[in-house]
Amino acid sequence: MFNRAIPTAILLATGSMCVQAADTNAHGFLEDSKATLSMRTLYFNSDNRDGSAAPSKTEEAAQGFVLRYESGFTQGTVGFGLDAQALLGVTLDSGTGRHVGSGMIPTDGDGAADTWSSFGPTAKMRISKTELRYGTLLPKLPILISNDARVLPQSFTGTQITSKDIDGLTLTGGVLEHAVGRASTDRTGLSVAGATRDSNKFSFAGGDYEVTKTLKAQYYVAQLEDFYNQNFFGLTHLLPFDDGSSITTDLRYFRTTSSGANSSAAGRAQGYRVSGYTRDNDGEIDNSTWAAMITYANGGHAVALGYQRVGDGSNFVQPNQGSLPDKGAGGGSVYLPTDRMIQSFTRAGEQTGFGQYTYDFVALGVPGLKASIVYLKGTGIKTQDAGDQSEWERDMTLDYVIQSGTFKNVGFSLRNGQSNTDAGRDVNQSRFIINYAIPLL
């Protein structure tokens, strides 16, 4: 499985160079083509301390290569195109006892795989400002976000249509069938945390509407067959001031209810259940979650304060394949402001207050340098047989992107997070990341 890595990357690279050598005066499919090689080096150190699981430490480093080719569209009323991505991961450092569920490198035997790769094409069609895609997709939607927090991104396969034919309104819909985890080369079905069964149908539709230049409204509906139905409402408002400062208000609300097999005791007994607390201890999904955040920005300073409340029927859910047999399939993201380095603060009954400070050093004449610190405190976590629990997390980030010279656009990121929780294990985590992209076309 892992030996496909180098041939896959070479084949796509060769195809990209052939396109580059084609007639540069052509229009459409070839003229608008572009290819990019993105590289990421990641050192990951997670000290999993006391808690519900035995103490352990993950310490690994890996190199990721993402080669993406995007064609233009053929001429005519209906335009056709083809995109493709080849992913290659290479283990730089790991070892016995240090490969403990980082979600970064696939497991091969008793340790980490030396290399891993995958390839995904995407066919596309365009009519006016409406575009249809079928194949590999990297959705960034409120009801599903492709996770890119390790060396290689999580991807999905299916169909997605996006329309911008109405000014100010973007409509999106589709059906997804499979996922490839960020630490896997295999396609799996779609599932939720704690479930041992999966689904091959995640349907979604919704839109983003710019009510004014400073106000955006969102509504999406999604269904993961045999697990849940979900509705999302979002509102974002920007209030600028004459002195260059501004206030941004961000409101989000999710309503999630059981569907199909998860709605019946028989279905949940077969593995269509969610983990964590549920009101009747039966694994049925029933959750309402809302979050509000306000951000004040002035010069290089930005201060954000927020509050989030998770209903006490069950944990908040969105697709996460972490409980399926393919151990590299986990690692889902959720569209909530509390989804951070270690925790997401989405347990049943949890009420979270948080604050974040960010500074952009361009105000001091150092463009490309940014720093931030965030603290989150969650209380009221429901349990079946004990009192309410609590947890907190503190994250610090320092980012720098080189602005000129030979290494222009090379980015460095240093991150440290500490989490203490009654609901699991305490964690102290550090990451060092180098990102660089080379345009090939």
Q: Are 393 and 419 in contact (CB under 8 A)?
A: yes
pLDDT of residue 327: 78
Cβ partners under 8 Å of residue 321, min gap 6: 179, 181, 188, 189, 190, 191, 198, 329, 330, 332
Side-chain half-sphere exposure of 331, counting CA atoms within 13 A? 27
**DSSP states of 57-120 as a string?**
EEEEEEEEEEEEEE----SSSEEEEEEEEEEEEEEEE--TTT-SS-SSS-EETTEE-SEEEEEE
Q: Which residues contact 47 (CB under 8 A, 6 or more apart)?
A: 57, 427, 428, 429
Please compute the mean of the pLDDT values over residues 230-243 and round it to a whole number.
96
What does the pLDDT look like over 157-166, one tens digit per residue?
999 999 999 9
Q: Is the pLDDT of residue 50 over 90?
A: no
Strands 130-137 and 107-108, how do they pair?
A: unpaired
User: Which residue range(s) make up the domain with 98?
Assistant: 2-439
From residue 105, alpha-carbon distances to 90, 93, 95, 143 in Å are 9, 10, 12, 26
The C-alpha atoms of residue 263 and residue 268 are separated, in whole angstroms, by: 8
Checking if the pLDDT of 7 tops 80, the result is no
Distance CA 382, CA 279 (A): 9
Span 386-418, pLDDT tens digits:
889 999 999 999 999 999 999 999 999 999 999
CATH number at residue 58: 2.40.160.10
pLDDT of residue 332: 86
User: How many CB atoms are closer than 10 A to CB 362?
Assistant: 14
Q: Mean pLDDT over residues 318-337, rounded?
A: 91
**Overall average pLDDT of the 341-354 stretch:** 97
User: How confident is residue 26, by pLDDT bands cut at 50, 70 and 90?
Assistant: low
pLDDT recorded at residue 385 = 84
- pLDDT value at 96 more than 70: yes
Distance CA 252, CA 237 (A): 12
pLDDT > 90 fraction of the chain, expressed in percent and rounded: 82
Measured distance CA(337)–CA(327) in Å, rounded:
26
Number of independent structural domains in the chain: 1
pLDDT band for position 1 (cuts 50, 70, 90): very low
Confidence of residue 48 (pLDDT cuts 50, 70, 90): confident
> What is the predicted pLDDT for the residue at 15?
42
pLDDT digits (tens, 9 = 90+) for 56-72: 788 999 999 999 999 99
Mean pLDDT, range 182-195, rounded to an integer: 94
**pLDDT for 13 beyond 70:** no
CA 366 to mean position of chain CA atoms: 29
